[in-house]
């Protein structure tokens, strides 16, 4: 009887191991920031093995929310030969050099602009089945499309079949943030590449006020002398609008403008008849991070705003990750 029970257990365990081995794919992350891409893939059922990030403050936030290996080091100093091989390599390589709002130096930026080529070095060593890359929309039109062409040609030389698309957070999730980003998904397997499709657009959206916090520290509320209070006329004040001060003018919208790093005072709302900033926690909400995601207690607001602005919209990443999983499972 005991032997029979053991045999049933052995076969059951073997079956479970087989399912896990065939359906769980491993992920390695580059330019991880606070882990938005990794979190999206984790929520989609992927196994995150390791990630790399150079910013020490971002690493503190990352380690406060994940327990897998994080390498706090310049990517140029990472020995990828010593890291576990992974099925999928993900990363949002530095985007400032391709941004419409930046200097648009692109690959000409010897520091940030060259980071794409560090991704290629990692790919040559790790040889993942799938690559997933994210950047600003401006990359698509940078240098009259030459930058995009170069990226695609280099990935094709590494034997990847690549699809790319610009997706807006507010169009593909129920989060009301106007955030356009380009996503690249490349497969070694042509059938998987052909099977993969980007997510479909959402039809329902939440009101931006659904993402606000109830208990707000007084430091986020404007005083009578705060410049925004003087700038916004009484006739312009509405509970249904988000205000953005940019390039010397006031913009009013029902969607959260693209959350940018280092510009916390540019976004504000009317709440309980008073104008106030959006808090770092609220901006995390607009990026789709769950309530369980926490900043370290000793982290400054300046760092929090920077980190959220550099992050990605987690639910959108999860949707793309699920599409990747579907393509992988259906075409082995």
Quick count: other Cβ atoms within 10 Å of Cβ 24? 12
Q: Distance of CA 186 to CAs 75, 124, 143, 326, Å?
A: 21, 14, 23, 14
Residues 6+ apart with CB under 8 A from 73: 52, 54
Selecting among 4, 59, 95, 261, the annotated active-site residue is: 95
Residues 6+ apart with CB under 8 A from 331: 189, 191, 192, 195
Residues 6+ apart with CB under 8 A from 245: 228, 231, 251, 265, 266, 268
Taking alpha carbons only, the member of 271, 229, 219 closest to residue 250 is 229
Q: What is the end-to-end Cα distance of the chain in Å, rounded?
A: 39
**Paired sense of beta strands 47-53 and 69-72, if any:** parallel
Is the four-CA dihedral 230, 236, 238, 244 of positive or negative sign?
A: negative
By the 8 A CB rule, do 53 and 33 touch?
Answer: yes
Q: Please state, in angstroms and rounded to a whole number, the distance separating the CA atoms of residues 20 and 50.
A: 19
Residue 59 annotated as catalytic: no
What are 246's strand-pairing partners? 249
By the 8 A CB rule, do 124 and 116 touch?
Answer: no
Query: Which residue has 């191991």 as its token pair?
Result: 17
Residues 6+ apart with CB under 8 A from 70: 32, 50, 51, 52, 53, 59, 62, 63
Which residues are catalytic, by number? 95
């Amino acid at each position: 009887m005991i032997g029979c029970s053991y045999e049933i257990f052995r076969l059951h365990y073997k079956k479970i191991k087989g399912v896990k081995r065939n359906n769980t794919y491993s992920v390695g992350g580059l330019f991880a920031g606070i882990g938005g891409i990794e979190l999206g893939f984790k929520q989609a059922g992927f196994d995150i093995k390791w990630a790399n990030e150079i910013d020490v403050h971002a690493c503190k936030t990352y380690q406060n929310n994940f327990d897998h290996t994080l390498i706090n080091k310049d990517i140029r100093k990472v020995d990828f030969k010593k890291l576990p091989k992974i099925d999928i390599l993900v990363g949002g390589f530095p985007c400032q050099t391709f941004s419409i709002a930046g200097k648009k130096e692109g690959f000409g930026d010897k520091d940030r602009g060259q980071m794409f080529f560090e991704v290629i070095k990692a790919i040559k060593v790790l040889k993942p089945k799938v690559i997933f890359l994210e950047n600003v929309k401006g990359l698509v039109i940078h240098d009259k499309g030459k930058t995009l062409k170069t990226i695609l040609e280099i990935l094709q030389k590494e034997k990847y079949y690549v699809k790319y698309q610009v997706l807006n957070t507010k169009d593909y999730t129920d989060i009301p943030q106007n955030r356009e980003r380009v996503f690249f998904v490349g497969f070694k397997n042509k059938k998987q590449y052909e099977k993969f499709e980007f997510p479909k657009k959402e039809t329902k959206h939440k009101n931006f006020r659904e993402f606000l916090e109830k208990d707000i520290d007084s430091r986020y509320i404007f005083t009578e002398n705060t410049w925004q209070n003087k700038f916004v006329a009484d006739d312009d004040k509405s509970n249904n609008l988000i205000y953005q001060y940019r390039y010397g003018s006031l913009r009013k919208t029902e969607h959260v403008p693209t959350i940018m790093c280092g510009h916390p005072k540019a976004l504000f709302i009317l709440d309980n008849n008073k104008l106030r900033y959006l808090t770092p926690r609220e901006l995390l909400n607009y990026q789709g991070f769950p309530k369980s995601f926490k900043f370290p207690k000793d982290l400054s607001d300046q760092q929090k705003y920077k980190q959220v602005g550099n992050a990605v919209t987690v639910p959108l990443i999860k949707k793309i990750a699920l599409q990747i999983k579907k393509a992988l499972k259906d075409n082995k």
